[in-house]
Amino acid sequence: MLLPKKNTPRSLIFIIDIFICIFSIFIAYLLRFNFQIPEIDRNDMPFVIGYIILIRAISFIIGKTYAGIIRYTSSKDAQRIFVVISIGSIVLGITDIITYNLQAKLIIPTSIIILDFIVTVFMLVAARTIVKVVYYELKNPRRDKTKVIVYGAGEAGVITLRTLDKDAGAKFKVVAFVDDDKKKKGKKIENVKIYHTDELDELLKESEIAFIIISTTHISPTKKQKLVEKCLSYNTRVLNVPPVSSWINGQLSFMQIKKIKIEDLLERDEIVLDKEKTFAQLKGKTILVTGAAGSIGSELVRQIIKFNPEKIILLDQAESAIYDLVNELKDRNQTSFEEVIADVTNQERMENVFKHFKPQIVYHAAAYKHVPLMEMNPSEAISTNVGGTKIVADLAVKYNIDKFVLVSTDKAVNPTSVMGASKRAAEIYTQAIGKNNKTKFITTRFGNVLGSNGSVIPLFKKQIEKGGPITITHPDITRYFMTIPEACQLVLEAGCMGNGGEIYIFDMGESVKIIDLANKMIRLSGLTVGKDIEIVFTGLRPGEKLFEELLNNSENTIPTHNKQIMISKLQSTDLEQVKIEISKLIEMFYTQDNVKIVRQLKSIVPEYRSNNSIYESLDNPQINS
């Protein structure tokens, strides 16, 4: 139905409000005198009506009650009307008191003032509400509306309902609230019934629910996963209301209600950090973060800022990424930043960084991490992941750094790739060098992080946006996942508790089948596997594992006070022998002989067995002999 797009003129609203006030006075008189107004009061009515209307008109102009758009009337508009009418009625009451003291007579009966106040407020609010309801019913006929359930019948749920009502373009109809609180079951909010979560299956079966909107932030990751799985089984899509802190000017808008992301379903319960210990270690310190422009490095910087260090040195060879990071962080707090463009493999440049800035703690996140690329470029993997780590670690010892925290990977466990083995070699060197030095060397090891550069999730998103296909290397491949903030929080925690020599392993939760992940992402996008998007298997890439591990077979795990962090104790290594072998490996960079480099890497990391790689022949004793 065609409806006028222009808003009603303010002057017309003002005039209508005045007529409503006149009508309200008549109703007040009729109610006061039981519909039989005495002659004396009828004679006074013209003056009374004129005076009341004068007060109301002045209060409307001051309070601007006519300025709102009627079809968007909200509770705030009702509050404004209540306040404005209240002030006007108080003025009428004060007038009565003054005239009574002067003439011993009430111009306006007190009962009329009270009744007029009640009737006026009611009629002004009711008129606006009726216009709003009629407008939306005409614009969005009930049969055309998309059925929606709001999960969470708290304050955020009510705001979500009102936001949907306000947004004419959405054509949504909230048919039910669902809440865990059994006390709310059967009650109604703005004429929408509240159901318990146990009744959700029945609601989804009986009605064609297009969307469920999760309005509450107080829902555990496990419960959210189960809710989404249930909704997807009924082809019901799930939307998410952002936290109140991200609402625009404290107001929720329809555009902020977004599709739930796969990252939301892979989250786990919030990590509880030992903030006192972290503050004690980081506050007032100068901290160097290598690889600061990367996914992990940049989030480490964001986390470290919260603990008020004196200075953070942001070191990376990616100038544009460092520039973007500094622009993001410069207004955060009083922490000063030093942007350093440098390559960790450049001995002279790194020496100058340590000499000039004198860092007290180093978080070493700079590394190459793409398995297939490093399989094709072993010399670069060795140069950066091993040689760069050696340079930074040696300088940490030389300049008496308090702590050196190495960010490693689960691919270093029983490695099957050059990348994983290079990270394991870096672990071996830092563990060995830290034995008899003041500097405490700590290694942190975890799996894939959600949203990192090169992660499978951004790749799948791009493939879905293009209409597919989604490419997966193997139907049985699994991976552990962790959010970037979660991983970095655990790195800080492990760095604080470490006394040197430990490898800290993070609890990555349950491993996830990549094909299940792809299926869920397709369904979350409202598409169908095999119909809208195809899944294609391309075969394992060079060096790729089917299953990731977090522990070597020879390692023992020791629990810590944080159940999400465990300590792995390795067998002791001979420092001098490690130094000789690592130096020999790094020197091989200049030969650019990939086979010799990988053979030497395998001698340093004996558990390294190549998988789906041209270097598998080096694992054959007959060929090696």
User: What residues contact 278, with CB distance under 8 A and at least 6 apart?
Assistant: 307, 492, 493, 496
> Cα separations (Å) of 301 from 298, 447, 558?
5, 20, 28
CA pair distance 449, 485, nearest whole angstrom: 9
Q: Which residues are catalytic?
A: 411
Structure tokens at 274: 């030992």
In angstroms, how far is CA 540 from the centroid of its own chain?
32
> Cα separations (Å) of 353 from 320, 439, 464?
20, 17, 44
Structure tokens at 326: 């500094």
CA pair distance 363, 85, nearest whole angstrom: 63
With CA atoms as reference, report the closest residue to 506 among 519, 493, 515.
493
DSSP single-letter state for residue 529: B
User: What residues contact 188, with CB distance under 8 A and at least 6 apart?
Assistant: 194
Tokens 């007529």 belong to 19
Ramachandran angles phi, psi of 104, nearest 5°: 60, 35
Ramachandran angles phi, psi of 260, nearest 5°: -70, 140
Q: Are 1 and 138 in contact (CB under 8 A)?
A: yes
β-pairing, 311-316 vs 403-409, is unpaired
For residue 328, count other CB atoms closer than 10 A to its CB.
12
Q: Where are the beta strands (DSSP E) in 226-298?
A: 237-240, 258-259, 286-290
Ramachandran angles phi, psi of 482, nearest 5°: -150, 145
The full DSSP string for 189-226 is ETTEEEEEGGGHHHHHHHS---EEEE--S---HHHHHH
53: exposed, middle or buried (C-beta count within 10 Å: 0-12, 13-18, 19+)?
middle
What percent of the chain is helix, strand and coil (3-state, nearest 5)? 50, 15, 30
β-pairing, 192-196 vs 211-214, is unpaired
With CA atoms as reference, report the closest residue to 406 among 454, 445, 378, 453.
445
Ramachandran angles phi, psi of 176, nearest 5°: -165, 150
Helix axes 39-63, 75-103, angle to 10 degrees: 130
Sign of the CA dihedral 576, 578, 584, 590? negative
CA pair distance 572, 364, nearest whole angstrom: 22
Q: Are 453 and 294 in contact (CB under 8 A)?
A: yes
Alpha helices in 33-154 (DSSP H): 39-63, 75-103, 110-139
Tokens 């009510």 belong to 158
For residue 425, count other CB atoms closer than 10 A to its CB.
28
